[in-house]
Structure 1
Amino acid sequence: MSEAFYTDKAKVRAAFERAAHSYDGAAVLQREVSDRMAERLDVIKNAPLMILDAGSGTGYGAAELRRRYPAARVIELDIAASMLKASKAKQQEGAGFFGRLMGRAQPWQACADIEALPLADASVDMVWSNLAIQWLNEPDGVFAEFRRVLKPDGLLMFSTLGPDTLFELRAAFAGQDSATHVNHFIDMHDLGDVLVRNGFALPVMDMEKIVLTYGRVRDVMQDLKSIGAHNVTAGRKAGLTGKHFWQRVEAAYEAYRRDGSLPATYEVVYGHAWRGEPKAKAGHLPDGRQVIEFKKS
């Protein structure tokens, strides 16, 4: 990925901090993808007792995980504290007075970076991550962290965005200036390679395209802003863009209008894999210790 398209993590955090109050009203895609991820759990025989929701947002996925695995402890982790506060408020509201009194509305939460998880090695049975890792520039670090905190034979299940995401918006911006306006995302096959490289076994990857429709280009941009997903690339334009610039972008986007609506296409990539055990080198045990044989003379 070109460095011009690298995301600024501080700006990612700030964007999601600001978006917490508007997130649930605009996160249609995030909820739909979370539901489709959960359906995939139906065919996976797994009974986790400790689950990490990495990039938990306002808690939609965590709520489904608690419903599906009532005996499990779900740890909500997000880079934005305001997202975690919004999730906690919803849980407390749903628990009612007696639930709060008994402490049932006190979720386990951590405000942290998914590339530096504040968890012990081999401490969770499942890592669940819905539409979070697309904000990272290099996936090796986060997959290494996911593997580190997973127990042996633990499950990683994630979704992210592929390179065809928002291609209409990217094309509308193309040629208007030299700045970057739309984030770039990593190809599904490359992600599969990264999983194997970082010690995951039996990776399964698939992809589908989900198209949301809008009345105006500004509605597309407003939705992205409401969920904290607007442009945070290093090559973004500094300062404001002018009226004529936006008129040209809108005119270019209008070429995609069909049946009275403007499409916004999302290439959604799903993946799951199991924590594999490192292969022992010849003459070594799996933990790296050398085997020394003594032969009788």
Structure 2
Amino acid sequence: MTQPIRWLHDEIAVRMLQKLDIVKLDAKDILLIPDFSGKHRSLLTRRFPNARIHSIIEGGMSGLDLLIARIKSHWRALIFPGKVFHIGAYLKTGKFNLPDNSVDLILSDLLLQDLADPKHFLQECWRVLKEGGLISFSYLGPDTGKELRPLEIENLRLKTLLSPWDMHDMGDALVGERFSDPVMDMEYLTIEYEKPALLMADINGLKLAHSTPSETSEMADLPQKLTLEVVYGHAWAIGKHLAKAKDQVAYIDINQIGRKTRPDSA
């Protein structure tokens, strides 16, 4: 996203952590994806002071930027640093460079709308989460930018979000990928603009357009506000020893079945 709406990442991250206030979770290893400018790390460090935080950062963020963010967030991050990866590596391979069953919490802020296959993202989260781990996420839903759809501006070519999933689609996908007790929520945020150029910058940042007007006069018909549909969700990784259900039946590995013995009679 563009710099003018960088505040949006921070605001949504704060709201996500507020929603987790009622969740009891002793997180030792956390995966933060994406870690926008390293700022979200400080929020998590305050909430989970003893956790090791693994970051998937933006491509333009340097190692020095991340080091500064670590210093600002908490001294412990320097002694027990988590792993750091660039988002480009995940987008290319579809894999987190982490072992199976290695993290307690995944926090994903405004990423899923930019993924062609959110289901694959959920599968990868399931892989790296420990038994009893939690995934918490936010993303922009399909009503985002709905004011733009009726527009007929010659040089403005609009597009839908790469993943136009509403919260019901995501809830179904969580269940389909074996997550337990999914909780979904949604809210509308409205941003008002004094200048069309500011709106145009955010349209580009939100990836809502293939091409944009170059002439100021062409922007005169733009609306003065933009609606964001923000979807929130979290779900638990429970019963990871169970095989994936087939035909609504879950199969258990025979090694997971305990054998109860009866004491010898006198």
Alignment of 1:170 with 2:141, yes or no, is: no
Taking only aligned residues, the RMSD between alpha carbons, in angstroms, comes to: 3.3
- State the shift of 1:30 in Å: 1.3
Deviates more, 1:35-44 or 1:271-280: 271-280
Q: What amino acid maps onto 1:88 in structure 2?
A: L
Equivalent runs, 1:242-253 vs 2, <5 Å: 243=215, 247-251=217-221, 253=222
Deviation track 1:102-126 (CA, whole Å, cap 9, x = no partner) reads 9459663111316311111111001
2:177 is aligned to: 198
1:259 is aligned to: none
Measure the CA separation in 1 of the matches of 2:135 and 2:127: 11
1:230 corresponds to which of 207, 211, 230: 207
Residues 269/160 of structure 1: CA separation in 2 closer, same or farther (3 Å cut): same
**Contact 2:70–2:78 (CA<8 Å) still a contact in 1?**
no
Measure the CA separation in 2 of the matches of 1:45 and 1:290: 27
**Contact 1:133–1:139 (CA<8 Å) still a contact in 2?**
yes
Higher relative contact order (CA 8 A, sep 6+): 1
Residues 208/94 of structure 1: CA separation in 2 closer, same or farther (3 Å cut): same
Alignment of 1:83 with 2:49, yes or no, is: no
Measure the CA separation in 1 of the matches of 2:161 and 2:251: 44
**Contact 1:54–1:76 (CA<8 Å) still a contact in 2?**
yes
Deviation track 1:46-73 (CA, whole Å, cap 9, x = no partner) reads 1100000021121222211111111100
2:253 is aligned to: 287
2:238 is aligned to: 276
1:9 is aligned to: none
Identity %: 31
Deviation track 1:204-230 (CA, whole Å, cap 9, x = no partner) reads 0010011122112210122455xx433
**Contact 2:39–2:69 (CA<8 Å) still a contact in 1?**
no
Residues 197/87 of structure 1: CA separation in 2 closer, same or farther (3 Å cut): farther
TM-score (norm 1): 0.72
- State the shift of 1:202 in Å: 0.4
Q: What amino acid maps onto 1:250 in structure 2?
A: A
**Contact 2:141–2:229 (CA<8 Å) still a contact in 1?**
yes
Measure the CA separation in 2 of the matches of 1:177 and 1:110: 37
2:112 is aligned to: 133
Larger fraction in helix: 1
Measure the CA separation in 1 of the matches of 2:200 and 2:102: 40
Residues 86/169 of structure 1: CA separation in 2 closer, same or farther (3 Å cut): farther
1:110 is aligned to: 85
**Contact 2:41–2:70 (CA<8 Å) still a contact in 1?**
no
**Contact 2:31–2:53 (CA<8 Å) still a contact in 1?**
yes
Total equivalences in the alignment: 248
Residues 169/122 of structure 1: CA separation in 2 closer, same or farther (3 Å cut): same
Structure 2: where are the runs of 5+ without partners?
Answer: 258-266
Deviation track 1:1-28 (CA, whole Å, cap 9, x = no partner) reads xxxxxxxxxxxxxxx6xx6xxx3x5312
**Contact 1:57–1:84 (CA<8 Å) still a contact in 2?**
no
Measure the CA separation in 2 of the matches of 1:82 and 1:159: 22
Q: What amino acid maps onto 1:45 in structure 2?
A: K
2:139 corresponds to which of 145, 151, 160: 160
**Contact 1:162–1:186 (CA<8 Å) still a contact in 2?**
yes
**Contact 2:105–2:133 (CA<8 Å) still a contact in 1?**
yes
